[in-house]
Structure 1
Amino acid sequence: MEHKARVRFAPSPTGDLHVGNARTALFNWMFARREGGCFILRIEDTDESRSDSAYQTGLLEDLKWLGLDWDEGPDIGGAYGPYRQSERLDLYAAHLKKLMDADLAYPCYCTEEELEEERRTLILARRMPRYSGKCRNLSEKEREALAASGRKPSYRFKVPRTTIEFHDLIRGPMRFEGEAMGDFIIVRSNGMPAYNFAVVIDDHLMAISHVIRGEDHLSNTALQILLYRAFGFDEPVFAHHCLILGKDHAKLGKRHGSVSVGEFRKQGFLPEALLNYLGLLGSSFAGGREILSRDEMIGAFSLFRASKSGALFDEDKLRWLNAAYIRNASTDALLVRLEPFLRASGYRPETLDAVWLKNVLETVKGELTTLAEIGDHIDLFFDERYSPSQEARRLLAAPGAREVVGAFGAYLNRAQGDAAEIYAAAIRHAKEKSGARGKDLFMPVRAALTGKIKGPELDKVFVILGKESAVKRLKRAEQEIIKA
């Protein structure tokens, strides 16, 4: 086995990339980069009924979008390929033969119905549901008869009645009793390898040094260690991180809302923000910081600081992080990322003045928590989209609002010169004439100018709108007050 750390992320192309799996990929990637090792991408596509090439394409795209790169994989090759399990079937067949020749595995002719009945009986008897082993000691004649009847066998590993112990880098000493497991399937009746069988062979042949994955694989690890020992393979180092949980402390699933990388991508989350947040879940970075670049995350990552307890997924915290990344992004870079979201909101960026659009974005980006919100925040700069909200109408109808808006508008009608100076002077005039202060002064002006009761700094909004647009809107606002 090589001395250089070699880790892998091995998703199944049976669905979209779940944020929990993305975090597993991230932990493996950070470990490899910190240790100067190799990060390998392997596709576990032996479930023919559920695997889909479209999902595989999506998995790779989402990983790349997050900024995770790999050193070996199905798209770039490598010295230990192929990197799709469906292309490694001859290797699994050869290793099954080794176990059969050593009398460590046997064919099982039980049907699914028989196995289910056996399981039901054990549960009713309040016993642990595990395979009874009834095919383990069939004679050759009995096996031939079952095969002749048309039954296709699966193959099971003969589990020794022994204790399996290993040290987990995150969880410490672990212990499982082989007696409680039952002989498990290593090759299905359709000839496809079962998960635990294929994983052991692949990890060994690919010289994987560390297996970093979720705690839901702990019971699998015990089975895999039995196979490592049966083959005489060196065992990798295991590290099982905690799972991501919903607010109800159950494993994060669709009932909790968005759970896939693709969903967050479509909603306008930045890859840096999502990656940063996933890195915080179940891991404390050195220094206790929360906003870190990829390189900073690599430098601060350690499996020894990984949590054993479940990590709660807090979308509000993710939105806070995303908003911080948006605020800190350069306007030019942000404009490129915003283009599809602008189009989805009905805008054509190529028809808008570039300098004007940059000024608008500079003004509103502090209000955004996701890129998808851009339409709701820039519509206030378009006169044709100006339409006071219900909240704005109520505010404009409040006592004193008409006097504030009227005084502000009266000054605008006769003002000339720089827009910023006009705004400041108009506010002073409205204050003097109405006697309003604080929110009683600024909120009616905001409602009249933007049609909203919240938004970016009003002086900056006014400069972009200009006097002419502001005057038109004030007249419209006065009409709203009269209607009210």
Structure 2
Amino acid sequence: MTVRVRMAPSPTGSPHVGMIRTALFNWAFARHHGGTFVFRIEDTDKERSTQESLDAIIDLMRWLGLDWDEGPEVGGPYAPYFQSERGDRYADALARLLDGGYAYRCYCTAEEVKERTKGAKVQGYDGHCRDLSADQVAAFEAEGRPGVPRFRMPEGSITWQDLVRGEITFETQFVPDYALARASGDPLYTLVNPVDDAAMRITHVLRGEDLLSSTPRQIALYDALKELGIAEQTPEFGHLPYVMGEGNKKLSKRDPEAHALAYRDQGYLPEGLLNYLALLGWAIAADRDVFSMEEMVAAFDIRDVNPNPARFDLKKCDAINAAHMRLLSVEEITNRALPYLKRDGVLTDPVSPADQQLLELAMPFVAERINKLTEASAMLGFLFVEEADFTLDAEDRAKLVETDDGQAAVQAAYDALRSCEPWSAAAISDALTTALVEEMGLKPRVAFGPVRVAVTGRRVSPPLFESLELLGRQRSLGRLLAVLS
């Protein structure tokens, strides 16, 4: 059997990290088995689906490198891959389900169902319209009542071997007959999802634990679709663990950590984010957390996924991302940081030859110090800013520069550097060490802190002596003099 899995998000909001974790596991499963990864858009919710959300999902998948074999922008043998363009298929399947007796029309109002089931053990629809006579149907239609098509759940139990959780059984008496479409005829997720999976020959469905309760309904529907000749097989199911946030609550869209696009904006590496999300339920080894996506594909087995909820730990996510930063060459970090430097206004677009040369000289001193690509802007901004626009961090200035000791250190540094020759990191180091450490008796941290803030604007910067060399004599002395006056 050729493995075919799918990722089917709804374009109704900002992409959630849980969605990306699901996409990653499906992608890794397909790549491990040499199968097909299908990307399908479930946009039947016309009121909430937006082009902006769709674009965000596609951009995110592209940025992460989760390439799909079939779907938007790629095409494939089972196009279209937008549910909004597959209405004729759903209408045909629904008609055949009704004609075959697998579904029936329900004429109850929500208020009637609620009143009838008040205090009942099984909440939800009570099957009132399951066996209406022709006269009863005619009477309801004469009243102008809309008929909602419901699937007729079979009696007994439904069992499947979950790829993550093992054998699961549902008694169908606790699974009410469910709606397949609205009274208007617009199909619901409960119908379109299995119909599309059947049409696209999906062999495995890997999805979140929150959809576990819908699985017995879908398995029953697959059985009906197979008897009608619409489906060839029932896919195997695997339900992935919840991603939890603070307080052991499910990570919701309201939680800041949930917004997947924010990680790109904040300068995370795609491989760092994917590595961390993979750890939310899976591990490549008991003593190893950092790995490449190629290594994950080679090792991934869906049966190794832990069914227990996984807690999202932002500190660990940062640490994993930092580990991946350390694996990149200086040249690669420079190339990846460039868009953020332009976005933050540190560099112009296009970058001038002089600024490009300065960036290449400065980046080796920064690459080992930044854990996210956006940190390059804060680290390097002092080199590219116009002198009229250069400012000091207010807190750092107050603590280190505007004190008597700070002013004395800056004055001594200014005096020592005025005659520094040549203007090199080594000569600058000798001059400042002699003036501030040996002659003034200051500890290096106390001695160089005020100087660092004066010339770079902040306490955290590239190495001080190299920073002064890159900044140049005139600009360095000018900044020292500015804080003295």
Q: Distance in 2 between matches of 1:116 and 1:52?
A: 33
2:392–2:453 CA contact under 8 A, matched in 1 = no
Tell me if the contact between 2:181 and 2:188 (Cα under 8 Å) persists in the aligned partners: yes
Unaligned stretches of 5+ residues in structure 2:
227-231
Question: 324-333 or 126-135: which moved more?
Answer: 324-333
Structure-2 residue corresponding to 1:106: 104
Q: CA RMSD in A?
A: 2.3
1: CA distance, partners of 2:8 / 2:345: 40
Within a 5 Å distance, the mapping from 1:347-366 to structure 2 comes to 347=346, 348-349=348-349, 350-351=351-352, 353-366=355-368
C-alpha distance in 2 between matches for 1:138 and 1:340? 65
2:229 aligns with none
Match of 1:158 among 124, 127, 152: 152
Separation of aligned partners in 1, 2:430 and 2:18: 55
- Hey, what does 1:371 align to over in structure 2? 373
Residue of structure 2 equivalent to 1:205: 199
- Answer yes or no: is the 8 Å Cα contact 1:215–1:242 preserved in 2: yes
After superposing the two structures, state which structure 1 stretch, 317-326 or 63-72, moved more.
317-326
1:50-199 pair list within 5 angstroms: 50-118=48-116, 122=118, 125=119, 127-199=121-193
How far the C-alpha of 1:258 sits from its partner, in A, is: 4.1
1:442 aligned to which of 448, 452, 455: 448
Comparing 331-340 with 18-27, which one deviates more in the overlay? 331-340
Report the counterpart of residue 482 of structure 1 in structure 2: none
Residues 22, 136 of structure 1: alpha-carbon distance in 2 compared, 3 angstrom cutoff: same
Tell me the secondary structure at the aligned position of residue 10 of structure 2: coil
The Cα of 1:288 is off from its aligned counterpart by 4.0
Deviates more, 1:177-186 or 1:284-293: 284-293
Pairwise mapping of residues 3-42 of structure 1 onto structure 2 (< 5 A)?
A: 3-42=1-40
The answer as to 2:228 corresponding to 1:222 is no
- Residue in structure 2 matched with residue 237 of structure 1 by the alignment: 236
Matches of 1:247 and 1:214, distance apart in 2: 19
Do the aligned partners of residues 101 and 387 (structure 1) sit closer, same or farther apart at CA in structure 2, a change above 3 Å counting?
closer
1:470 alignment partner AA: S
SS of residue in 2 equivalent to 1:248: helix
Q: Which moved more, 1:397-406 or 1:224-233?
A: 397-406
Code of the residue aligned with 1:409 in structure 2: it is Y
Paired AA for residue 4 in structure 2: R
Match of 2:414 among 379, 396, 409: 409
Measured after TM superposition, the shift of residue 216 of structure 1 is 0.8
TM-score by length of 1: 0.90
Give the equivalent residue in structure 2 for 1:475.
481
- Supply the AA of the counterpart residue of 2:422: G
CA deviations 1:299-325 (Å, max 9, x no partner) are 132212212111212222223333344
Once the two structures are TM-superposed, the CA of residue 431 in structure 1 deviates from its matched residue by: 1.2
Counterpart contact for 2:194–2:221, Cα < 8 Å: yes
How far does the alpha carbon of each residue in 1:149-191 deviate from its partner, in whole angstroms, 9 at most, with x for none? 2222111111123111111111111111100111111222121
Residue correspondences, number: 473
Give the Å deviation of 1:236.
Answer: 1.5
User: 2:273 aligns to what SS in structure 1?
Assistant: helix
Deviation at 1:275, TM superposition (A): 1.9
Contact 1:323 1:366 in 2 (8 A): no
**Higher mean displacement: 19-28 or 287-296:** 287-296
Q: Which amino acid aligns with 1:431?
A: V
Which residue of structure 1 aligns with residue 424 of structure 2?
Answer: 419
Deviates more, 1:407-416 or 1:26-35: 407-416
The one-letter code of the counterpart of 1:455 is: S
Matched, 1:461 2:461: no
Please give the alpha-carbon distance, in whole angstroms, between the structure 1 residues aligned to 2:204 and 2:339.
40
The Cα shift of 1:268 comes to 2.5
**2-side partners of 1:13 and 1:255: how far apart?**
17
SS at match of 1:255: coil
Residues 353-362 or 381-390, more deviating = 381-390
Contact 2:379 2:460 in 1 (8 A): no
User: CA offset at residue 272 of structure 1?
Assistant: 2.1
Distance 1:471 1:231 in 2: 80
Q: Which amino acid aligns with 1:379?
A: G
SS at match of 2:22: helix
| Cα deviations by residue, 1:33-82 (Å, 9 ceiling, x for unpaired) | 01011111112222222223332233222211110111111332222333
Question: SS of the counterpart of 1:187?
Answer: coil
Contact 1:44 1:84 in 2 (8 A): yes
SS, match of residue 15 in structure 1: coil
Percent sequence identity over aligned pairs: 38
> 1: CA distance between counterparts of 2:246 and 2:464?
37
| Cα displacement (A) at 1:26 | 0.8
**1:262 counterpart residue number:** 261
Quote the Cα distance in structure 2 between the aligned partners of 1:210 and 1:55: 26
Moved over 6 A (4+): none
Deviates more, 1:468-477 or 1:218-227: 468-477
**Does the CA-based 8 Å contact 2:179-2:188 persist in structure 1?**
yes
Contact 1:419–1:467 at 8 Å: present in 2 too? no
Give, in whole Å, the separation in 1 of the partners of 2:396 and 2:57: 43
Instruction: Please give the alpha-carbon distance, in whole angstroms, between the structure 1 residues aligned to 2:77 and 2:271.
Output: 31
The separation in 1 between residues aligned to 2:164 and 2:24, in whole angstroms, is 16
TM-score normalised per structure 2: 0.90
Higher alpha-carbon deviation: 153-162 or 98-107: 98-107
C-alpha distance after superposition, 1:359-399 (max 9, x if no partner): 23333344434333443222322444143533333223556
Deviation at 1:444, TM superposition (A): 3.1
Cα drift, residue 14 of structure 1: 1.7
Residue 29 of structure 1: CA displacement?
A: 0.4
Amino acid at match of 2:395: Q
1:340–1:155 CA distance, 2 compared to 1 (3 A): same
Do structure 1's residue 46 and structure 2's residue 17 form an aligned pair? no
State the Cα distance separating 1:437 from its structure 2 match. 2.1
Change (3 A) 1:57 1:397: closer
Whether contact under 8 Å (1:366, 1:456) holds in the other structure is no
Which sections of structure 1, spanning at least 5 residues, go unmatched? 480-484
- Structure 2 residue identity aligned to 1:165: T
Instruction: Tell me the secondary structure at the aligned position of residue 170 of structure 1.
Output: coil
String of CA shifts for 1:334-375, please: whole Å, max 9, x gaps.
444444433443331524521102223333344434333443
Paired residue secondary structure (1:129):
coil
- Is the alpha carbon distance of 1:214 and 1:434 closer, same or farther for their aligned partners in structure 2, counting shifts above 3 Å? same
CA contact (8 A) 1:12 1:44 kept: yes
Q: Tell me, what secondary structure is at the counterpart of 1:376?
A: helix
* Pairing of 1:285-324 with structure 2 (within 5 A): 285-286=284-285, 288-324=287-323
